[in-house]
Structure 1
Amino acid sequence: MREGVEWAAHCCINLSWVAPEKAVTAARLAAFYELPTAYLNKQLNALGRAGIVSSQSGPRGGFRLGRGPDQISLMDVAAAIDGSAQAFLCTGIRHRGPAGELAVPEEHRTRCTVARAFSLADLAWRRQLAARTVADLAAEVRRANPAASDYVRHWFDRN
């Protein structure tokens, strides 16, 4: 996964702690983590296209969650930023060169062992991300640091 997934997940947690009627600019979100605003804005726009955040233009504009944090899975965030294609692509090299000359009777032909292993790992990864929400992560952060949500809320309220 690209670093944009990490950035997007953190921004979603922070937006879950800001008052729902308050929009936060990309510049303000970027400043909180000292990230480049233009690149973070691209991630936020990708989240917007997926309906994870909504945006509002104008002097009071910015981003807010597009639905409740309990309705946004980590898989939603990852797919919005990195797409939903499988991580592993089998190119069928076992059929090329001398390896392709191995005679395997039709009744013993199976799906590529390597592709199957990576597909199972990809499926487990997707299920794990789909089972966790932004609300779950926000709760974990609050358990580890009970002041986190208040700090974030006040920091974003300053401007």
Structure 2
Amino acid sequence: MFSQTAEYALRAVAYLAEQGAPRTVAQIAAATKVPPSYLSKVMQSLARAELVASQRGLHGGFRLAIPTTQLCVYDIIQAVDPIARIHSCPLELPQHAKALCPLHQRMDDALAQVELAFRKTTFAEVLETPIFGPDPAD
């Protein structure tokens, strides 16, 4: 149901949330088992959405731009691979011009529930039990 891009972004953010200092793409990739070249693009998307910030230099890398108590799973997914709600008939059938058919309405209802659950889930909640732990390099 969720793309690999969304999964990679969620792993990267979870890792950054557990670390106190900025981390490079190489460090994030090694810890999260995400290919570095792909992760670089994911991190750029997260930076454009202002969810992570990057800093250059000797102690540079990426860090979260939002506190984990305010950062929701929904924010991450929407930044890299938005949940596509169904607003009109995907088949463009004239009899469904004013309302979704029962099948597509139920599919959209399910997407709405997923969206709501992700909006309610902060990274502070997700990380009540650590996933990655501290970086051994620290």
Superposition TM-score tier, normalisation by shorter sequence: 0.7 to 0.9
Q: Is the 8 A contact 1:28 1:156 kept in 2?
A: no
Q: How many Å apart are 1:110 and its aligned residue?
A: 4.9
Q: TM-score, normalised by structure 2?
A: 0.84
Task: Judging by fraction of residues, say which structure has more helix.
Answer: 1
Q: Is the 8 A contact 1:73 1:132 kept in 2?
A: yes
Q: How many Å apart are 1:155 and its aligned residue?
A: 2.2
**Counterpart among 122, 131, 137 of residue 133 in structure 1:** 122
Q: How many Å apart are 1:87 and its aligned residue?
A: 6.2
Q: TM-score, normalised by structure 1?
A: 0.74
Q: Residues 38, 131 of structure 1: CA spacing in aligned structure 2 closer, same or farther, 3 A cutoff?
A: same
2:38 corresponds to 1:48: no
Moved more, 110-119 or 33-42: 110-119
2:19 corresponds to 1:18: yes
Q: How many Å apart are 1:114 and its aligned residue?
A: 2.1
What's the C-alpha RMSD, in Å, of the aligned pairs?
A: 2.2
Moved more, 28-37 or 126-135: 28-37
* Matches of 1:36 and 1:130, distance apart in 2: 28
**What is the one-letter code of the residue matched to 1:14?**
Y
How high is the sequence identity, in percent, across the aligned residues? Answer: 25
* Matches of 1:68 and 1:78, distance apart in 2: 17
Tell me which stretches of 4 or more aligned residues in structure 1 moved more than 4 Å.
none
Tell me the equivalent position of 1:105.
Answer: none
**1:103-138 Cα deviation digits (max 9, x unpaired):** xxxxxx754222211111111110011010111110
Please list every run of 5 or more consecutive structure 1 residues that lacks an aligned counterpart in the other structure: 101-108, 143-147
Q: Which has the larger radius of gyration?
A: 1
Please list every run of 5 or more consecutive structure 2 residues that lacks an aligned counterpart in the other structure: none
* Matches of 2:85 and 2:99, distance apart in 1: 20
Number of aligned positions between the proteins: 135
Q: Is the 8 A contact 1:9 1:134 kept in 2?
A: no
Tell me the equivalent position of 1:119.
Answer: 108
* Matches of 1:39 and 1:2, distance apart in 2: 13
